[in-house]
Amino acid sequence: MIIVFWISLFIAFYTFVGYGLLLYFVIKIKRIFKGKPVLPIVADDNLPTCTLVVAAYNEEHFIAQKIANSLQLNYPAGKLKFVFVTDGSSDRTPEIIGQHQQIQLLHRPERAGKIAAVHRAMEYVDTEVVVFTDANTFLNTEAITRICRHYSDKTVGAVAGEKRVQIDASADASAAGEGFYWKYESALKKWDSELYSVVGAAGELFSVRRNLYQDVPADTVLDDFMISMLIAAKGYRIIYEPEAYALETASENVSEELKRKIRIAAGGIQSILRLKSLLLPFKFPILSFQYISHRVLRWTVTPFFLILAFITNFAVAFAGKGLIYELLFAGQVLFYSLAIFGYIMEERQIRIKILFIPYYFCVMNYAVMAGIIRYFTTQQSSVWEKAQRKM
């Protein structure tokens, strides 16, 4: 029982904290011997040609802002194209886009899902680089320039931008928790990139070399993750560029965020099963280490080890095996009590920010377990399941 407890606790700790600490110290040591990485300086004439692809479904509330934001992006004249695909949209989204001649509009009345729309859009992309971004996210002016400068390195196959969540003073647990989560994720991605490669990209903002792009199966849930990881599996690196960021509002509430997280978790299991070769460290040992540590553990066993750690800790502590077990169990009880209290306060719309982290942490791990169950019990669909965002 004691051995099971320590194994469970170690895996849970390593997944959420230990890997980040290990990365931090490895990067510090690496810099002692190789110095801090130098960002590439690329003249405008040497920047690659680029296409910005936006897949939008019923985004009439955001699309005018998205268009204005896209047309304000700073990139050498004649080197940036815009393709917006709106398959299935039944609101004014296609009409609003059609008012702008600078943008190539692709629209079909039938709704086949985001990845089908992306596949169709890629047929029209003839530039060296393609950048994908969501319709309800807004990029900083220099985002494309910051991303595309990395393609001067031939070992780079994809570049991931940073996701930032807009949080106001009255933010609920979903907004504050999501914001904190992405700040931590951004730090991990920065260190992953410096060590070797980012482990997948988020659809809010990422790019790939056009000649390395590979269509993924039509039922793919996490198309952005799969597209980028298939490039990594070919031996190319995915670079993280925090100076290129996509700003979006948080989910409308915890229920909407939970719906999104469950879908991501189901997609995570699907991705792991389709990227089985990366679980073996023989071909790309560092990438496999990063992939398992940063993604696989979170998406598979760790939530269950959290439960196992609590149960075995309870048994060992009340068996009188030592003060350390009693203190650890008390710490777990306190943490989960704060999470439950956070849930109660959230239901009553009382904002106590110190409770957001334990509450969001529990919601996130519940979503993983629910996503695993969903994947193995229901048929997956790649059709948009839009989480409502704050307006």
What pLDDT digit, counting tens, does each position of 115-167 carry? 999 999 999 999 999 999 999 999 999 999 999 999 999 999 999 999 887 76
Side chain identity, residue 312:
T
Closest CA to 68 of 139, 19, 153: 139
Q: What is the pLDDT of residue 176?
A: 59
* Helix/strand/coil (H/E/C) assignment for every residue in 20-42: HHHHHHHHHHHHHHHCCCCCCCC
Q: What is the pLDDT of residue 134?
A: 93
Q: What is the pLDDT of residue 345?
A: 82
pLDDT, one tens digit per residue, over 39-95 is 888 899 999 999 999 999 999 988 999 999 999 999 999 999 999 999 999 999 999
Residues whose CB is less than 8 angstroms from the CB of residue 34 and which lie 6 or more positions away in sequence, other chains included: none
pLDDT, one tens digit per residue, over 113-127 is 889 999 999 999 999
Q: Is the pLDDT of residue 298 over 80?
A: yes
Distance from C-alpha of 155 to C-alpha of 147, rounded to nearest angstrom: 14
Side chain identity, residue 144:
I
Structure tokens at 153: 């390195």
Distance from C-alpha of 26 to C-alpha of 338, rounded to nearest angstrom: 33
Closest CA to 247 of 196, 186, 318: 186
Radius of gyration of the chain (CA): 22
Q: What is the pLDDT of residue 284?
A: 95
Q: Is the pLDDT of residue 249 over 80?
A: no
Structure tokens at 62: 């955001």
CA torsion angle for 183, 188, 192, 193 (degrees, to 10)? 10
Q: What is the pLDDT of residue 174?
A: 53
The answer to pTM > 0.75 is yes
In this prediction, residues 100-108 reach a mean pLDDT of: 95
pLDDT, one tens digit per residue, over 324-380 is 999 999 999 999 999 999 888 877 777 777 778 898 899 999 999 999 999 998 866
Percentage of residues of the chain with pLDDT beyond 70: 92
Q: What is the pLDDT of residue 385?
A: 56
Closest CA to 249 of 188, 171, 186: 171
In this prediction, residues 191-217 reach a mean pLDDT of: 95
Structure tokens at 123: 């047929």
In this prediction, residues 248-269 reach a mean pLDDT of: 81
Q: What is the pLDDT of residue 248?
A: 83
